Structure 1
Amino acid sequence: MPTRLKEFLYGGSLCLAEHDARVILELLISTDELELDELTDFIQEYLLNNSWRLMSHFVLFHKFAMQNDERFPKIRKCVIELIKENPSTIFDSNDFTTIDQDTLIAFFKCHNFSSIKPGILWRNLVEWGVAHTPSVPIQYIEWDDEDFEALGDTLEPFITLIKFTEMDSEEFLSEVRPWKKCLDYIDPDFYTQVLEFRQLPAVNVTSKLFKLLLEVRDRRHIKEIDSNLITPSDATLLANWIYEVSSSNGNYSPSNSSFIFSLGDKVFNYEPKLSKISNASKAVYQSESYGPCFGGGYSDLRLFGADFKDKGECRCVQTSYEDKIRDDEEEFSIDEYEVFQISPFVTSTKSKWSILRSYAIA
């Protein structure tokens, strides 16, 4: 039992403002384990009303929120909102370098991070990499070739997630050039080919790593999507899902081949979900009192209410589609929804699907 909790139990007073965020989290965990519900609620409300306290140890709170999302959904929601409002929150956190590799990769892949300049991402990645390569000296001037190689091994899984070609010259030279040796150990041609590509995009690419980076970049820009909600990579996923459904059913129609989905988000602990129609007669529901609805009964995906955003009465209850796309059936609100025009195109003898354009409705 934390000393502060003992002091409260014996003294009857607790001033959370005097304590570090880590201590407050320890208190929250301890009071919950001891089933001190009123005190647990008090500590949780303090954190929610002073969410800036979470930012000093954001990695710790993010891990706690994702592991305890059912017990503390409000804290999880608060953490998610902090990421959405300011993705660089993770870099400003005192415990940034403690984040594990898989979680950091998920952050880098998250579309919220596309607004952060690639030079900033690279700078923070190097800081994280040094912290996770304990064999390297603290002083850069003391590094030898083996140290650069060791850091290169740590950074390699992230290289294709950094948009090196979108850095301006000053940013590239100041942020990337000092770590050229690391990149050389990963791929001897990578650094040079990035420089060449910046000057002449039509250059013949021989670097395997740089070729992979360009493929990732091209997938991100597969189509210009006029959307506030999805990225080009999301559009590619949707197009592949449509192709999968149309192939298994022979053709695509709004009823027999209908499906609903959730794109998911690894940062927020959601996986993409696809749910195919099981009762085609109830694929779509229409009423003047509702927005878009899919499925009969309570509806697998229902938009309902005078104002979807401020008075959330939308919900997902698995009825007419094979699987549920949300883990809970609680009502929720919607900030915005969009409708997409989808059109088939033919390559050789195969018909595929592409999202051509989106139209924001609300």
Structure 2
Amino acid sequence: MTTQFYERLSNDLTQLLENSIDYNVTIEVGEEPDKQTYKVHSYILQSRNSYFYKKLNEISFNENHIKVLKMHNISIRIFNIIIKYIYGGIVSLEKLENSVIFDLLIISNELNLDELVEHLQTHFVNNNASWLRLNFSQVYQTSCQVKNFNIIKDFCNNIVAKYPNIIFESENFQTLPEDTLISIIEKDDLQLEESKIWQYVIQWGKAQNPTLPSNVDEWTSDNFLTLKTTLGKCLPQIRYFSISREDVFEMIFPYQQILEPKLWSDINSKFLAPSKPISSTVLPSRKILNVTFPTRITLSSNIIADEHTLEISSWIDKRELNYTENNPYEFKLLVRGSRDGFDVKTIYEICDKVSNIVIVLKVKDTGEILGGYIPCKLDKNNTKWIYSQDSFAFSLKTTNLKNSILSRVKNFSYAFANYPQHSLYFGHTLCLNYNLKTGKNCNSLQNMYSYDKPIHSLNSGFNVVEYEIFEVSKKK
């Protein structure tokens, strides 16, 4: 019988890190003036990690018999977690923001910490999928660039399968890595017509060869050969025999030279003599589901996720229990600070005479998501208090807030202050003034004159790193 005393071993090695007895390596981490030096042991680093094994073998001892390694590109906070994992095999994620955990994942991959990379990916998918969806663009782009992020990449590809326009209609589509494009178009459940997939593949291939003539009628044999070579691994993923006769004629016929002659012959045989056997590989048709997937607001927002919009919609309808799926409302983005500017006047200009709007804003430093619902019309030409029985303010659930806070209007005559020159007020519960990004012009007071509860923990001003305004309307 074998007994393993891992906990004691972990504690003893962690103590060795803290006491640094007989250290022979120093690692400088962080930037001046806050950089920190760690005194560590080469035999532990090299036995536990291939990156340090190679790196330390490349460095000579100095006159004090110490190897000096500088890693200024890693933050002290991230390195603290990594070095404790290397020594003690322990990582605690409970008090870490998701953005920090994602940075930890990236650095862990760079340091060849494969066990930790797999653990962090699994943690995100199982416990923080909403954060991945909220930051989909950044997460997907990273997973495409990093070979070892297969768990997160599969998670993202499953979203793309349901919502293919996220990728195919994005401005970054033409720069998509080849292996990523293949991983998408090879999926049997990709919810896209085969003829559209063909068009996107051709579009991607032409983008990789910008010198090709724009008019395909002017192409030479060499031009077609160039495109055929570029798309060599993509073309076998197209389900040619699922494409209609009309689409074959309109979309594939102009590019027939990039197909193998036998395949082109079999495609034509399918229409002319359907019962005649063919030798080309026939891939199964896509499993197109006869359902309409709900619009994923998370994928067009820098701040809110699906569960947030479901919660806000429940508050609009004054439900006791929140919607959990099939949101009855559409959220149409009207204003975004990083796109349109952070001045309050901008909000009134763009949202003039618009009703039923939701504003959400992300507080600098704390990461809080505050906001409110305005059922009445904004008016850029008048300064006045607006009457409403249905407006509300809120603070949404985040990593640092266990449950969302809803604050409903109680003084209907002072539900909302329409001050187009400088301010936008939900009573005193949420006050937005002048430029939201500078000067700490925003505040949320504890004065409950107009609304029934406070939504913000501090009674002082704050800045906003991003805000968005959505027009909310019932789905048809």
Query: Which structure has the larger Rg?
Result: 2
Range into which the TM-score falls when normalised by the shorter chain:
0.3 to 0.5
Q: When the two structures are superposed, what TM-score results if normalisation uses the length of structure 1?
A: 0.46
Q: Which protein is richer in helix relative to its size?
A: 1
Select the structure that is richer in strand: 2
